[in-house]
Amino acid sequence: MISAGDFKNGVTLEIDGNVVQILEFQHVKPGKGAAFVRTKLKNIINGGVIEKTFRPTEKFPAARIDRIEMQYLYSDGDLFHFMNTENYEQIALSEESVGDSLKFVQENEMVKVCSYNGEVFAIEPPLFVELEITDTEPGFKGDTAQGATKPAVVLTGATVYVPLFVEQGDVIKIDTRTGEYLSRV
């Protein structure tokens, strides 16, 4: 059991039958009245975000989230196949449960499959990936005075905005959380 006074960002709890993760929290001590904890919670099953306040003495059970390292094998239509590299067990997930979390992940790369009570709710790609640019327009000198970008399509089919000097065939490093270009490799 975790009391509201001990909340931290990233902690996963069961509140009112829902599994939520704490995105933000703030301890508030008004001049008049009792202290309280203001939170921003994300429902990890459906992705909804709500704001809620709690008394610091309220207690909630911690939710156990299993994160298993798996290899992304391939997709066939609307099913995505993953394999546990320790016991070679394979699972297939639907397009709804995967979402767009694999847009920067190539086949045979390792990802984390997150589940709660055996039900998969999210795929966590690696934080940074290196991908080759398959299509982009050439950049022209004098197009701009500062930091202009152009769209580029990477090997997985996703579009990333890159600086004008990046060309087709270059390998770039991408932050998968934001989809931003970081550097050339």
Measured distance CA(82)–CA(113) in Å, rounded: 9
Average pLDDT over residues 7-33: 88
Summarised one tens digit per residue, pLDDT across range 69-91 is 999 998 888 888 999 988 988 98
Burial 119-139 (b: 16+ CB within 10 A, else e): ebbbbebeeebbbebeebeeb
Q: Do domains 2-60 and 128-184 have the same CATH topology?
A: no
Give 77's contacts (C-beta < 8 A, 6+ positions apart): none
Q: Are 16 and 3 in contact (CB under 8 A)?
A: no
Q: Where are the domains of the chain?
A: 2-60, 66-124, 128-184
162 forms beta bridges with 150
Assign domain 66-124 to a CATH class: mainly beta
Q: What is the pLDDT of residue 38?
A: 93
Average pLDDT over residues 7-21: 86
Say if domain 128-184 classifies as CATH 3.30.365.10: no
Q: What is the pLDDT of residue 36?
A: 92
Of 108, 111, 105, 166, nearest in space to 134 by CA: 166
Q: To the nearest whole number, what is the mean pLDDT of the chain? A: 86
Q: What is the dihedral of CA 179, 180, 182, 185, to 10 degrees?
A: 50
Q: Are 2 and 59 in contact (CB under 8 A)?
A: yes
Summarised one tens digit per residue, pLDDT across range 27-73 is 999 888 889 999 999 888 777 889 999 998 899 998 888 888 999 99
Residue 143 has pLDDT above 70, yes or no: no
Residue 141 has pLDDT above 70, yes or no: no
Q: What is the pLDDT of residue 124?
A: 85
Q: Are 44 and 122 in contact (CB under 8 A)?
A: yes
Summarised one tens digit per residue, pLDDT across range 110-139 is 999 888 887 887 788 888 999 999 988 887
pTM of the full predicted structure? 0.70
CA distances from 8 to 37, 42, 58, 126 (A): 11, 13, 15, 23
Summarised one tens digit per residue, pLDDT across range 163-172 is 888 888 889 9
| Topology (CATH) of 2-60 | SH3 type barrels. (2.30.30)
What does the block give as tokens for 11? 């902690």
Confidence category of residue 140, pLDDT binned at 50, 70, 90: low
Residue with the larger pLDDT of the pair 148 and 20: 20
User: Which stretches does DSSP call E strand in 44-148?
Assistant: 49-54, 59-60, 66-76, 79-84, 90-94, 110-116, 119-124, 128-136
